[in-house]
Amino acid sequence: MSGAIDLDELAINTIRLLAADAVQKAKSGHPGTPMGAAPTAYTLWQRYLRYDPAAPEWMNRDRFVLSVGHASMLLYALIYLSGVRGSPEVYDGAERPAVTLDDIETFRQAGSHCPGHPEYRTTSGVETTTGPLGQGFATSVGMAVAGKWLAATYNRPDFALFDYNVYALGGDGDMMEGISSEAASLAGHLGLSNLCWIYDSNRVTIEGHTDIAFSEDVAARFLAYGWNVTTVADPNDLALLDRAYQAFLKTTDRPTLILVHSHIGYGAPHLQDSPKAHGEPLGDAELKLTKEFFGFPPDQNFVVPEQVPKHFAAGIGARGAAAHAEWDRLHAGYRDAYPELAKQVDAIEAGSLPDGWDSMLPVFPPDAKGIATRDASGKVLNVLAQRIPWLLGGAADLAPSTKTNLTFEGAGSFEAPGPIGDYHGRNFHFGIREHAMVAAVNGMTLSGLRAFGSGFLIFTDYARGAIRLAALMELSVIHVWTHDSIGVGEDGPTHQPIEQLLSLRAIPGMVVIRPADANEAAEAWRVVMQLKHRPAAIICSRQPLPTVDRSKFSAAALLAKGAYVLADPTDGKPSVILIGTGSEVSLCMAARETLIGEGVAVRVVSMPSWELFEDQDQAYRDSVLPPGVTARVTVEEASPLGWDRYAGPTGIVLAMRSFGMSAPITVVAAHFGFTVEHVVVAAKRTITTSTGVSA
């Protein structure tokens, strides 16, 4: 046995036992998959991954996504042994390794950079947060899309600035989740030849062997998707793994699936195919047997032979450093040859916006009939996208309805090069795949693009997992959700959102903005484009909404504060406050006119964003909703939950307390009480309740 092969085996077994020791000490975790998949991941990192451990955020690095997130110790061991340097942004300015042996020894404990599942912005070298199965696979599609778009947009002859590959390792659970099917279908359609999924098929899940629930031919399924499929029968045969990775690198017209037939606890006969090893610590006795089998001291923990980090340094470390240095040389020449393009690349890397990006935003004139906020949003988006070349995205087959088509000359469609588009295109056709769409947009955003996805608000239910992960990762993802209320009308309760607004507002970090008119829609985009670490959802109407006369009422720019006084009595002393969002603001304004005619002093507050309003100081919030004015009515065609905080104990919440109905919009609104008359009655009632005086 040659020295090189000995080092390979030693490195693989070190990964295995670091994982087993960490899980055992934590008394929590999954040792089986890290042990079984160790040869597969090791061969990729040590021989193929183009990655500089000294610069884990290098723009043209290959990406490795651990979709099977419960096998996190596999990734942490690789990061540690490869010597990945921690980004100062992630480690509060400190210069330190991304993962230390102390982090591994405190796996799954508070303060460790080795949490139970990989978390983006917690550990350098973790490209995306994973854990919910299938999410990593789907997010990797967005990363590969970004790579293709960056290459098509910025590469020039002799300057292949972007040519990175994306590898994602997943297991049986990832393949069972529906999102992986959506994402694989999309990737095959797009011909993403820079994408390689590695399917670690160990045929064991928590309930037992997969044949109790999963018996399909995955290879045939992926061939049907249009993927290249190659199989590795024994992952301990590194030559077979080499052949599989080389097959991926030679494939230029489609993504590749490498199907690896591994075994839980592979290499240790007493653990092989054990469901217990999948989801539990091995236990002291079995762990000692395992260490003896692999030739490690049975009574020592967290053993790292000194040759192993040196071996990684000579492999991935040296190869990555050389590739990075060559890229830096290429980038310097690119700056000289293409300075304007280089400026864009620098902005993408920095997460900044071009000068004057918002200087041409449209201003909409007053109009009693108005336009739908989805239409206004579409006009604003097209202006912004011409100023920000890396602002791009699409819809789940609904762009004509969500008005997210980029229609200016040269926008094009992102497709595999052919008659209907190429990889330069900025319009993305995600198909009827809401969940995969949002995950892909997450991946595009992780790659530096300002990406958006859109659909009907009701279908956020189909994309919830990926929406939540964007907030968990603090990504500046942009969502445009339309058809925002029972105003959908004839489509009926299946398409009329009720609880969806509340559910989005419940996600920590998410900014939800429901503009009341066209100019608020423009300001919503201005706010969203400046967010750096928060996802945002712009919620738009299908039906036309009156465009407020801003010469008579407050400026739409106040949307940035989340809520503002739109209209007030001349003396600024209201006896009742009407609070609305979106289409219901115009209802409040109409009710105001009736109440004024009856001698009632009315303030109308437009509250497009709870989150932005709560970000303001108490003095500002009290100036909008004075504590002394307790007669309040909130109006929103959605769930009432949460509105009591703004209505107060004597206020009235006008909201939906059931599902909707199929009928014309005016009939639906009248049936559920969203009429001027109903708002007026509620205003008078709350005045009486709060003051004891009839209005």
Burial class (CB within 10 angstroms; exposed 0-12, middle 13-18, buried 19+) of 329: exposed
**367-547: which CATH topology?**
Rossmann fold (3.40.50)
Residue whose C-alpha is closest to residue 235's, from 197, 280, 282, 198: 198
The backbone region for 670, taken as left when phi is positive above 0, alpha when psi lies in -120 to 50, beta otherwise, is alpha
Question: What rounded mean pLDDT belongs to the chain?
Answer: 95
- CB atoms < 10 A from the CB of 179, how many? 26
pLDDT of residue 1: 36
Q: Hey, is 547 helix, strand or coil?
A: strand
pLDDT of residue 69: 97
Cα–Cα distances (Å) from 176 to 68, 134, 203, 603, in that order, read: 12, 8, 12, 54
Q: Where would I find the H helices in 388-463?
A: 399-402, 434-446
- With vertex at residue 411, the alpha carbon angle to CA 407 and CA 413, rounded to the nearest 5 degrees, is 100
Q: What is the C-alpha separation between 510 and 508, in angstroms, rounded?
A: 6
**Encoded tokens for 92:** 């509060």
Q: Which helix (H) or strand (E) holds 345?
A: helix 339-350
- The yes or no reply on domain 3-324 and CATH 3.20.20.70 is no
Ranges in the chain, pLDDT < 70 = 1-5, 264-279
Residue pointed to by tokens 């789940």: 396
pLDDT of residue 272: 55
pLDDT of residue 202: 81
Q: Hey, is 251 helix, strand or coil?
A: coil
| Contact between 603 and 568 (Cβ < 8 Å) | yes
Q: Which helix (H) or strand (E) holds 619?
A: helix 618-624
Q: To the nearest 10°, report the CA torsion of 81, 84, 90, 92.
A: 90
With b for 16 or more beta-carbon neighbours within 10 A and e for fewer, the 549-580 pattern comes to: ebeebbebebbbbbbbbbbbeeeeebbbbbbb
CA-based Rg of the chain, rounded to a whole angstrom? 28
Residue pointed to by tokens 């992780």: 446
pLDDT of residue 274: 56
Sequence-distant (6+) residues with CB within 8 A of 35 are: 16, 19, 20, 264, 265, 266, 267, 268, 271, 277
Do domains 3-324 and 560-691 share one topology? The answer is yes
In eight-state DSSP terms, residue 514 is -
Residue pointed to by tokens 């989805």: 374
Q: Percent helix, strand and coil across the chain, each rounded to 5?
A: 45, 15, 40
Supply φ then ψ for residue 382, to 5 degrees. -70, -35
Q: Which amino acid is residue 283, in one-letter code?
A: G
Q: Where would I find the H helices in 116-237?
A: 135-154, 172-176, 178-190, 218-225
The set of catalytic residues is 434
In eight-state DSSP terms, residue 212 is G
**Encoded tokens for 275:** 């469901």
**560-691: which CATH topology?**
Rossmann fold (3.40.50)
- With vertex at residue 337, the alpha carbon angle to CA 332 and CA 343, rounded to the nearest 5 degrees, is 70
pLDDT of residue 545: 98
Q: Hey, is 612 helix, strand or coil?
A: helix
Q: What is the largest CA-CA distance in the chain?
A: 96
**Encoded tokens for 678:** 């109903």
| Contact between 412 and 425 (Cβ < 8 Å) | yes
Q: Which amino acid is residue 195, in one-letter code?
A: L
Sequence-distant (6+) residues with CB within 8 A of 21 are: 104, 105, 287, 301, 302
**Encoded tokens for 453:** 């996805």
Domains of the chain, by residue range, sit at 3-324, 367-547, 560-691
**Encoded tokens for 145:** 């899309």
Torsion over CA: 469, 48, 174, 228 (sign): positive
- CB atoms < 10 A from the CB of 115, how many? 20
Question: What is the value of pTM for the model shown?
Answer: 0.95
Q: What is the C-alpha separation between 150 and 310, in angstroms, rounded?
A: 34
Please write down the HEC assignment for all residues of 455-474: EEHHHHHHHHHHHHHHHHCC
Strand 564-567 versus strand 602-606 pairing type: antiparallel
Sequence-distant (6+) residues with CB within 8 A of 123 are: 76, 79, 90, 98, 99, 113, 114, 115
| Contact between 505 and 536 (Cβ < 8 Å) | no
pLDDT of residue 690: 86
> How many Cα neighbours within 13 Å face the side chain of 594?
18
**Beta pairing partners, 422:** 414
Q: Tens of pLDDT along 89-125? A: 899 999 999 999 999 999 999 999 999 999 999 999 9
- CB atoms < 10 A from the CB of 509, how many? 17
pLDDT of residue 418: 86
pLDDT of residue 81: 98
In eight-state DSSP terms, residue 553 is S
